[in-house]
Amino acid sequence: MRPMLDVDRRSSRVPFLDLSPMTEEVRDEIAGRWQELLLTGGFIGGEAVTRFEEEWARYCGTDEAVGVGNGTDALHLSLRALGIGPGDEVIVPANTFVATAEAVVLAGASPRFVDVDPGSLLVTAEGIEAAATPRTRAVVVVHLYGQMPDMDRIAATAKRLGLHLVEDAAQAHGATWGARRAGSYGVAGCFSFYPGKNLGAYGDAGAVVTSDAGLAATLRSLRDHGRAGGGHYEHARLGTNSRLDALQAVVLSAKLRRLDAWNEARRECVALYRELFDEEAARYVHQLPGGQPVHHLAVVQVPHRSHLRAALSASGVATGIHYPTPCHRAEPFRGYPGRDAPVAERAAEHILSLPLYPHMTAAEVERVAGEVNSVSSRSPDL
Ligand SMILES: *Cc1c(COP(=O)(O)O)cnc(C)c1O
């Protein structure tokens, strides 16, 4: 099925991401609850934060959620709470956002990069097994683009190797593998609520979900200057300041009630994209049969990316690249082991992220797919 493009559609612009319709849906509810907070002045902690933590844990299927300042801190503090530090190695995928590896270095440990599967661009149990050394203490699995890898096999491998399994679920709010949600497989599931994520705050925010009560208690202490024991000036350990504030918690509670519907809308857009693409024009990242992704990003692999990207831009279609430099090649991570990741390196030259957001219309998806197909059919053979 090839869509017919009329003149109006061709001249309209398609943004990469449009948050405003989501903001509009929750505007009145949030305004009302923010007004209450302004009157009481309870900006840090309090009932709004506790309520969101309970809701988020229930949604993810874990006993607890600990709100923190952002997704990077969720990862970094989880590793510290697990006792990971200098001399330890943590396996991370070569294909991820830098924050995954940053968190490992911030905890004082070394990242060990592992290559990804060429279809899904996610880590595999085999890759983790091959990368582990006697110094490896943990693996951070990244549910990149909103899709979980085979978590049954990865969890079994991590268990056999004696590695802590941590999930970087910053792009996977609500994704599942089997009957379980992102964040509930590992000892710690780390989320970012950066505004552009599937569940996004109105600023920076994050959370760790866990069913390990001891780990949750350590995280609550670490996020709050190492406080423990109840006294305001009782500091049991070196902590930091990384708290989820009440204004953001209110936003997240309101948006959480719409998350499933918004994720479903993303899935419908992606199903249409996949139906419309000509096979030689764009290959959507492989969808693994064991889970249900939430499509944080719509990523295709294309033969002539710079040509296509320029043509799309000229016709008003915004695109992105996630990520132009594979993580292990980024400047801060020179010198860490496991720098050979040919699949991630090759993918970095061919991946293109297309517009995707819950309120994207079928006409917009058709317009983007139509442009991709028609530009590709006119591409020079390189
Ligand atoms: C966004 C993101 C993070 C970091 O989250 P922040 O809230 O920006 O600190 C970590 N990992 C991945 C995969 C992300 O996409």
Query: Cα(277) to centroid of ligand 1, in Å?
Result: 29
The per-residue pLDDT for range 75-84, each reduced to its tens digit, is: 999 999 999 9
What is the pLDDT at residue 11?
60
Query: Cα(192) to centroid of ligand 1, in Å?
Result: 5
Q: What are 48's two structure tokens? A: 């709004």
Nearest to 188 by CA among 331, 65, 93, 356: 65
Terminal C-alpha separation, the chain:
27
- Cis, bond preceding 323 (omega within 30 deg of 0): yes
Query: Cα(363) to centroid of ligand 1, in Å?
Result: 31
State the Cα–Cα distance between residues 307 and 305, nearest whole angstrom: 5
Site to substitute for ligand 1 among 90, 121, 194, most atoms within 8 A of C-beta: 194
What is the pLDDT at residue 339?
67
Nearest to 282 by CA among 254, 308, 250: 308
What is the pTM assigned to this prediction? 0.96
Q: What angle do helix axes 362-377 and 246-276 make, rounded to 10 degrees?
A: 50
Query: Cα(99) to centroid of ligand 1, in Å?
Result: 6
Query: Cα(170) to centroid of ligand 1, in Å?
Result: 5
Site to substitute for ligand 1 among 192, 252, 295, most atoms within 8 A of C-beta: 192
Q: Which atom of ligand 1 is nearest to the CA of 75?
A: 10
Q: What angle do helix axes 71-81 and 98-106 make, rounded to 10 degrees?
A: 40
What is the pLDDT at residue 377?
82
What is the pLDDT at residue 334?
85
State the Cα–Cα distance between residues 16 and 320, nearest whole angstrom: 7
Low-confidence ranges of the chain (pLDDT < 70): 1-11, 338-339, 380-382
The per-residue pLDDT for range 180-221, each reduced to its tens digit, is: 999 999 999 999 999 999 999 999 999 999 999 999 999 999
Q: What 3-state class would DSSP assign to 119?
A: coil
Query: Cα(74) to centroid of ligand 1, in Å?
Result: 9
State the Cα–Cα distance between residues 228 and 220, nearest whole angstrom: 8
Site to substitute for ligand 1 among 97, 98, 204, most atoms within 8 A of C-beta: 97
Which protein residues touch ligand 1 with a CB less than 6 Å away?
70-72, 96-97, 99-100, 142, 168, 170-171, 192, 194, 204, 206
Query: Cα(98) to centroid of ligand 1, in Å?
Result: 8
State the Cα–Cα distance between residues 333 and 340, nearest whole angstrom: 13
Site to substitute for ligand 1 among 171, 190, 245, 321, most atoms within 8 A of C-beta: 171
